[in-house]
Structure 1
Amino acid sequence: MLLSSRRPVLLVIAHGSRDPRHAATVNALVARVRSLRPGLRVETGFLDFNAPAVPQVLERLASEGVEDVVALPLLLTRAFHAKADIPAVLHEASARLPRLRIHQAEVLGPSPLLLGALERRLHEAGLTPGDKSSTGVVLASAGSTDPEAIAVIAEIARELRYTGWCAVRPAFASAVSAGGYPRTEDAVRSLRTAAGVRRVAVAPYVIAPGFLPDRIARGAGESGAEVLGEVLGASPELARLLLTRYEEARMPVRLAAAVSA
């Protein structure tokens, strides 16, 4: 099928990490997105540590004559990277590449698809639907000092609780996070005293492995959590969510194309 030249390229923007598992996980997620939408061109760019860098990808796309790009932050909350780092990189690229129209998509969370991905990882770790009513869950985020991001994590914990888990507590891997939320290990110990909790599971609310996800895992192990879920990674729910955010950002591009046609 002949594809319209007006269809924007999807550029997935990841933070990057010295940990090779990070880039490998991002690439696996992008591969799954491509498999879900074979006609869509999907590129990956990193802010730091890994190649290709975001400006390099945008320069290559501009040199190929691409007109529109949807830049999608691979982030779960609107914190510093979504509000400062990524807009600055995209603004600088737009100034250098005036013929390339760059449309920044919203961050991934919150979304019911993320709740589905969290539950998938817990079930893959050994829990069954029948275990929910007696299992307390620690929703372990990397952490942030941004009040908006912290509020989102708290709200996701409440929404996860409504799906039937006995109790859910938010926790942060980073000790510098604001909001007064505990570290993973402290949240696990707190859940042990909650009414009706027979086992504690830790659900990492992070996309890819790295330093802070490893800290979450250590906290779960040191505090005796019975179940530890994997990172969200290349889950089918996350791949579908990327395409959802792409379509949301693409809508103004489609309207503009219809007007000019």
Structure 2
Amino acid sequence: MTVAHPPLLIVAHGSRDSRSAATVRALADVVRTRSDAPDVRVAFLDLSAPSVGDALAGLHAEGHRHVVAVPLLLGHAYHARVDLPALVDEVTARLPRLSVTVSDVLGPDPLLEDVALDRLTGAGATLSDPHLGVVLAAVGSSHEAANDVVTRIARGWDGRHPARVTAAFASAARPDVPAAIAKLRARGARRFAVASWFFAPGLLPDRIADLAAESAPDAVVAAPLGTDPRVAAVVLDRYADTLTGAARTA
């Protein structure tokens, strides 16, 4: 099957928490509402179905010969650098007539930062409050460059708003949420809020909320980025950028 616009395969991490996959599928529905949207599918790296391999094999069986995979990831950590490329190589080795182009990850992106800030203020945080301490919470990675991206975003927010802002991580990196709140308290913060650098609800965002409640019982906790139309717009931007790049190198 030859099509002008190949299918867009949104590839998410996957989770044992059903809310995560449901949010990814709902985001795909938002992408589909855009007038410029191609055929949109969903796949997961682990723990949720369909797997990347099954989704690509299914598209191949339908007659597609080119697929653009857009990783629903916020940084260039293990899943983006190693896991997804290895899965794609495995599938294309079995299906040599199938070409899969993997786009850049979604984050960081100014639109996603705007969504995270809107989620934060929507939860009740007042960024003009000089006594507010904001924790920008992310998953954390053993790849330090991925953590540095989150730290830079937090520093940027810290420089633009009276509220004090610092980064924290759910796993594999420091500081964790209690340490970040202690750091903010030492800088004079009296009230606290947690911004979410996650796409969907799940076990790690829940862990962050629990830790925040233990360290600062009145802390405001923002929802993940979720199905905001700006997230869908970034997905389509990555898809379009990938096609343009493929055309330039063809």
Aligned 1:1-261 pairs, distance under 5 A: 5-37=3-35, 39-128=37-126, 131-174=128-171, 176-177=172-173, 181-195=174-188, 197-224=189-216, 225-255=218-248
Percent identity, aligned pairs only, is: 43
For the residue of structure 2 that corresponds to 1:192, the secondary structure is: helix
For the residues of structure 1 that align with 2:142 and 2:196, how far apart are their CA atoms?
A: 18
Tell me the matched-pair count: 248
For the residues of structure 1 that align with 2:160 and 2:34, how far apart are their CA atoms?
A: 27
1:253 deviates by 3.4
For the residue of structure 1 that corresponds to 2:19, the secondary structure is: helix
Q: Which amino acid aligns with 1:213?
A: P
Shift of the 8–253 alpha-carbon distance from structure 1 to 2, 3 Å rule, reads farther
- Ranges in structure 2 where 5+ consecutive residues have no aligned partner: none
Question: Is the contact made by 2:131 and 2:190 (CA closer than 8 Å) also made in structure 1?
Answer: yes
The C-alpha deviation readout for 1:11-32, integer Å capped at 9, x for no partner, is: 0111111111111111111111
The C-alpha deviation readout for 1:122-179, integer Å capped at 9, x for no partner, is: 12102356x35442210111111111111111111122223324211111111x32xx
1:46 deviates by 1.0
For the residue of structure 1 that corresponds to 2:181, the secondary structure is: helix
Question: Is the contact made by 2:76 and 2:146 (CA closer than 8 Å) also made in structure 1?
Answer: yes
Shift of the 188–31 alpha-carbon distance from structure 1 to 2, 3 Å rule, reads same
For the residues of structure 2 that align with 1:155 and 1:78, how far apart are their CA atoms?
A: 14
Shift of the 185–40 alpha-carbon distance from structure 1 to 2, 3 Å rule, reads same
Question: Is the contact made by 1:157 and 1:170 (CA closer than 8 Å) also made in structure 2?
Answer: yes
Question: Is the contact made by 1:204 and 1:216 (CA closer than 8 Å) also made in structure 2?
Answer: no
The C-alpha deviation readout for 1:213-233, integer Å capped at 9, x for no partner, is: 111000111111531101111
For the residues of structure 2 that align with 1:159 and 1:243, how far apart are their CA atoms?
A: 26
Question: Is the contact made by 1:139 and 1:168 (CA closer than 8 Å) also made in structure 2?
Answer: yes
Question: Is the contact made by 2:31 and 2:37 (CA closer than 8 Å) also made in structure 1?
Answer: no
Farther-moved stretch of structure 1 (4-13 vs 137-146): 4-13
- Ranges in structure 1 where 5+ consecutive residues have no aligned partner: none
For the residue of structure 1 that corresponds to 2:153, the secondary structure is: helix
Shift of the 171–128 alpha-carbon distance from structure 1 to 2, 3 Å rule, reads closer
Question: Is the contact made by 1:115 and 1:160 (CA closer than 8 Å) also made in structure 2?
Answer: no
For the residues of structure 2 that align with 1:36 and 1:162, how far apart are their CA atoms?
A: 35
Question: Is the contact made by 2:37 and 2:236 (CA closer than 8 Å) also made in structure 1?
Answer: no
Q: Which amino acid aligns with 2:170?
A: A
TM-score using structure 1 length: 0.88
1:198 deviates by 4.2
1:186 deviates by 2.0
Question: Is the contact made by 1:137 and 1:165 (CA closer than 8 Å) also made in structure 2?
Answer: no
TM-score using structure 2 length: 0.92
Shift of the 89–67 alpha-carbon distance from structure 1 to 2, 3 Å rule, reads same
Q: Which amino acid aligns with 1:185?
A: P
For the residues of structure 2 that align with 1:88 and 1:188, how far apart are their CA atoms?
A: 38
Task: Give the CA RMSD over aligned residues.
Answer: 1.9
For the residues of structure 1 that align with 2:45 and 2:223, how far apart are their CA atoms?
A: 24
Question: Is the contact made by 1:158 and 1:168 (CA closer than 8 Å) also made in structure 2?
Answer: yes
